Structure 1
């Protein structure tokens, strides 16, 4: 199981400050991982590891929520700091977006990021998402209010992305 790897990657202040929720202890990591398959099989939430294609080394994780009432889902991800800026997040986000529209038949996918983490916003832009709004001082983290920047993409907007290279 990936518990030690997840714990090692997530136990990092630079990741913590840019995420809403993230496991830190081995117990947190275990509790987070243990329901992935069940949630996937029950069509609730889809969690995927971001790994090296050859070695399987864990780089991070990406998730897609399922909101069947609205036929949409939220995209969320984290990458270990040693792997930032190498395109892994963008590649994974594009693949999960295709999964959302082709396999799950979603109408829309949305994502959010703190204004203090523009790199996450660049991933959203690269996969064709557009900024839909800013929730001013919406989140309080470590005693500071943070803006939450909201992005989204509709299924019909994503068709041109399939031909693009990342």
Structure 2
């Protein structure tokens, strides 16, 4: 993982994580207007419109500058192809943050989520000096849990029937990791 403070990018073996721009909005719509993605995420609306994408992207730069959260487009390092998004909140008082991510369905199973999550977790610990990173996922989305496990996050508990989505209550699994670089 290489973080470039100047252009606020993170580079990995295959990926370049960068801030979203308005020009990404149509690609975001194409990836997010997907029922399979919607049913496994907490805040993603469905159907997903261009207004949703533009509204979501509009706050990213300010959030980054104010150090409230860090939201990155997950892109191919060479071609620039958008694969998904990854973000981490910043709770300065408690020195922790929640990681969240989505990958467009055409790119599932290729390891992009894991590679991006490892990089953002390292960014949080090494660059932003977090003590802890945590995340949650729906029981019916075990692939997200595999990403967390591959990043060294450990199971911390289950919130039983915690979320009501698509006419059913969902269990939410909680994972976390303490800064291993200290």
Report the counterpart of residue 96 of structure 1 in structure 2: 120
Q: Can you give the 5+ residue segments of structure 1 that lack an aligned partner in the other structure?
A: 160-166
Structure 2 SS opposite 1:131: strand
Q: Deviations over 1:51-108 (max 9, x none)?
A: 1110101000000001112110000000000000000000000000000000000000
Q: Quick check: 1:139 aligned with 2:168? A: no
4+ runs of 1 displaced by more than 6 Å?
A: none
Q: Quick check: 1:73 aligned with 2:100? A: no
RMSD of aligned residue pairs (Cα, Å): 1.1
Structure 1 SS opposite 2:97: strand
Q: Quick check: 1:14 aligned with 2:40? A: no
| Pairs aligned (count) | 158
Q: Quick check: 1:54 aligned with 2:85? A: no
Q: Can you give the 5+ residue segments of structure 2 that lack an aligned partner in the other structure?
A: 1-22
**TM-score, length-scaled by structure 2:** 0.85
**TM-score, length-scaled by structure 1:** 0.93
Report the counterpart of residue 5 of structure 1 in structure 2: 27
Distance 1:32 1:22 in 2: 10
Q: Quick check: 1:34 aligned with 2:54? A: no
Distance 1:66 1:136 in 2: 26
